[in-house]
Structure 1
Amino acid sequence: MNEKRLHKVLQKMSENGLGQMIISDPMTIFYLTGKFIDPGERMLVLLLKVNNRPMLFVNEMFAVKDDFGADVVSYGDSEDPIAILSPHVDNEVLLGVDKVWPARFLIRLMHQVKVKDFVDISPIVDSIRARKDEEERELMRVASRINDQAMEKIIAKLPNRYSEKKMAQILLETYQELGAEGFSFEPIIAYGANGADPHHETDATSILNEGDSIIIDIGCRKDFYCSDMTRTVFYKKADELQRKVYNIVLEANMKAIETVKPGVRFCDIDATARNHISKFGFGQYFTHRTGHSIGLDVHETGDVSSANTEPVDEGMIFSIEPGIYFPGKFGVRIEDLVLVTSDGCEVLNHYPKDLQIIG
């Protein structure tokens, strides 16, 4: 059990007048305990109470040591886990439940206990996870360094004119060679007109043609922490419009990064990138938010968008990834991860961003 992180959660519970909560998200349980369990369809619950020792309810097929830092309650496949959990829930008080607990468990518990009310406690946990401690910051740096190396290796393979799908397979092998566990998300490797779809699904039929832009949006998972980075390069040549668009996106990326510091609102960072692109008449082609928070999950709470008026804080890590996309033609996106420091930010990605023509 990570006592410092647990203390922060318990303190937030007290501040919000909440005496008990159910955490079911495997990544949050890992964040607090150092133990990762993927329960599949089985119930996994960490029950926290302000004045009691934590309790972990877990199927007996998942071995948990006695020195886990919580009281472990195991159940078998022939037993009813809700019937085992419910006697440990205090009635007539609030019960916090996180946003990912399946309805098949929550609804049944609602019929078996008489709590004052059920409350979504994800904002409490998310706000704590958003501010990375020093151990997490270093893990994110390591994951990003691996991603830098992988980007260099994958770009070097592009002149072979493999399909997008083949390049993704090479990327997975590259991550494994570099010591990562695998993808943090399905990579986006998009040739030419495919790059006009911000979330293009890498396919097995597309191959490179002269003049194609190539969007490479990739990330790995290392020691549970995620990396994410996008670079756009061109095959053999780039025409005048492609060069212009590339430089505008690069400037938007850099200007947004320059605004990052504690106290600046997420929406203001988004506006910096968006206004720069709009100034050149391409605002309608920037079709997504400027970024997302990242850590144990590749997308965490706290997006860089016009809708998020919250200020950024030291320890937060999120992406800056403006883009311009012309349907049926090409797209350009440039993405870096930034770590908010006491007076600015640290860019975690170091692979070059100068316009690059390969092949």
Structure 2
Amino acid sequence: MKMQRLNAVIERMKEDNIAQMLVTDPTAIFYLTGKMIHPGERLLALYLNIEGNHKLFINELFPVHEDLGVEKVWFTDVDDGLKIITEYVDKNATMGVDKNWPAKFLLRLMELEGGNKFVNSSYIIDTLRMCKDEEEKDLMRKASALNDEAMKRLKSTLPSGLTEKQLVGELNKIYEEIGADGFSFDAIIGFGANGADPHASAGDALVQEGDAVIFDIGCIKDNYCSDMTRTVFYKNAPEKAKEVFEIVLEANKRAISLVKPGARFCDIDAAARDYITEKGYGKYFTHRTGHSIGLEVHDMGDVSAINTDTLKPGMIFSVEPGIYLPGEFGVRIEDLILVTEDGYENLNKHDKELCIIG
């Protein structure tokens, strides 16, 4: 077990009067044990108790031989794993559970336990994960450096006459070549009007002269995620598209410039949103300015108008303003920003200025 992280969880449990907790999200289990286990539809649970005596309930299908610093309780496909769990838990104490635990497990446990009070306790680990330690910061830097290299290579393939979907295939090859562990999310590659959909699906379109091209890509390295967006132009940049690009770029820079401990997420959002609105495109900026990132591409926390939380050192989030003109084109520029002790560090070094390719 990663004891510093575990101790922080136990302290939060005590503060919130949650005597015991079942951690069932594989990512959260990895955060505490250093072991990533993908159980599929099967039961996996890390039991924590403020008095100690923690257990990892795990199916024999997953042969975890290393010492994780916690006793393993094994069961098979024909065992009732939830009934086994009830043999170890305190039946008179509040039980914390994960927000995404399938109902087939939670309802069965509630039926077996009867008198327990069940509460959503995911926020405890989720909020701790928001502030990365030094090891995590370095892992995030490495993942983003790989993504920078992938973006550089991907952009160079634009003149090759490939479709959006084929470029996603090229990106997969690039990630394999540079040593990434796969995609952190489905890549968004949109030519022209398709880029006006913030979550466009790559299709069979071919790039046309004057198209704005959105590359929104991310890879995983050693379980940590990267995410970056660049918008480029093919052969030339029409005046209107160039104007929109410069507005989005300035919005991106204004938002990032405010990042420091004590600033509020909503003020970072406002810096980008107010500038885009001032320029007349406010209704075309249709999403929040950013999201937290780490072990998951969307960790807890976001850069939005309603998030009044303050920034703390170690937080990492995206700043990705965009303007999307239906039937015409879209522009989005995204960087991952790490909050430092006195300001920020941009994890993405790849150029984001106006770029015409081909």
Give the TM interval when normalised to the shorter protein. over 0.9
Report the Cα distance in structure 2 between the residues aligned to 1:115 and 1:36, rounded to whole angstroms: 32
SS of the aligned residue for 2:300 comes to: strand
Identify the residue that residue 176 of structure 1 maps to in structure 2: 176
Equivalent pair of 1:196/1:329 in contact (CA under 8 Å): yes
Which string of whole-angstrom CA distances, capped at 9 and with x for unpartnered residues, describes residues 216-250 of structure 1? 00000000000000000000111111111000000
Match of 1:272 in 2: 271
Q: Displacement of 1:115 after TM fit?
A: 4.3
The CA deviation string for residues 301-349 of structure 1, in whole angstroms up to 9 with x for no partner, is 1011112111111100000000000001000000000000111110000
Comparing 117-126 and 247-256, the one that deviates more: 117-126
Amino acid at match of 1:292: H
Aligned sequence identity (%): 55
Give the counterpart letter for 1:68 in structure 2. L
- SS of the counterpart of 1:253? helix
Which residue is 1:259 aligned to? 258
State the partner residue of 1:145.
145
2:57–2:74 Cα contact (<8 Å) kept: yes
For residues 243 and 306 of structure 1, the distance between their equivalents in structure 2, rounded to whole angstroms, comes to 27
Counterpart position of 2:202: 202
Q: Could you state the TM-score of these two structures normalised by the residue count of structure 2? A: 0.99
CA offsets 1:59-108 (integer angstroms, 9 cap, x no match): 10101226221110111111111111112121221111111211100011
1:75 aligns with 2:75: yes
- State the one-letter code of the partner of 2:307: N
Aligned match of 2:113: 113
For structure 1, which segment, 228-237 or 258-267, has the greater mean C-alpha deviation from structure 2 after superposition? 258-267
TM-score by length of 1: 0.98
Q: CA deviation at 1:163?
A: 0.5
Superposed CA RMSD in Å reads 0.9
- 1:179 shift after superposition: 0.7
CA contact (8 A) 1:96 1:120 kept: yes
The amino acid that maps onto 2:172 is L
Q: 1: CA distance between counterparts of 2:91 and 2:18?
A: 13
**Contact 1:291–1:303 (8 Å) recurs in 2:** yes
The separation in 1 between residues aligned to 2:41 and 2:142, in whole angstroms, is 32
1:312 and 1:122 map into 2 onto residues whose CA distance is 20
- Name the CA distance, whole Å, in 2 between partners of 1:130 and 1:113: 32
Q: Partner residue of 2:13?
A: 13
When the two structures are aligned, how many residues end up with a matched partner?
A: 358
The residue aligned with 2:307 is 308
Determine the C-alpha separation between the residues in 2 that align with 1:313 and 1:96: 26
Task: Indicate the SS of the match to 1:300.
Answer: coil
Instruction: Give the structure 1 partner of residue 163 of structure 2.
Output: 163
**Which residue number in structure 1 is paired with residue 227 of structure 2?**
228
Equivalents in 1 of 2:99, 2:260: separation in Å? 29
Pairwise CA distance, 1:116:
4.2
Give CA-to-partner distance per residue, 1:266-303, whole Å, 9 cap, x none.
11111110001000010000000000000000001101
In the alignment, the residues of structure 2 paired with residue 220 and residue 248 of structure 1 have an alpha-carbon distance, to the nearest angstrom, of 28
1:89, 1:113 within 8 Å by CA — same for their partners in 2? Answer: no
AA matched with 1:55: K
> Do the aligned residues in 1 keep the contact of 2:110 with 2:116 (CA within 8 Å)?
no
Q: Following the alignment from structure 2 to structure 1, what is the Cα–Cα distance between the partners of residues 357 and 215? A: 13
Which of 48-57 and 63-72 deviates more? 63-72
- What is aligned with 2:97? 97
- How much does 1:114 deviate? 3.7
Residue identity in the other structure for 1:166: Q
Structure-2 residue corresponding to 1:345: 344
Contact 2:43 2:81 in 1 (8 A): yes
Unaligned runs of 5+ in 1: none
The secondary structure found in structure 1 opposite 2:56 is strand
Aligned with 2:301: secondary structure?
Answer: strand
SS at match of 1:112: helix
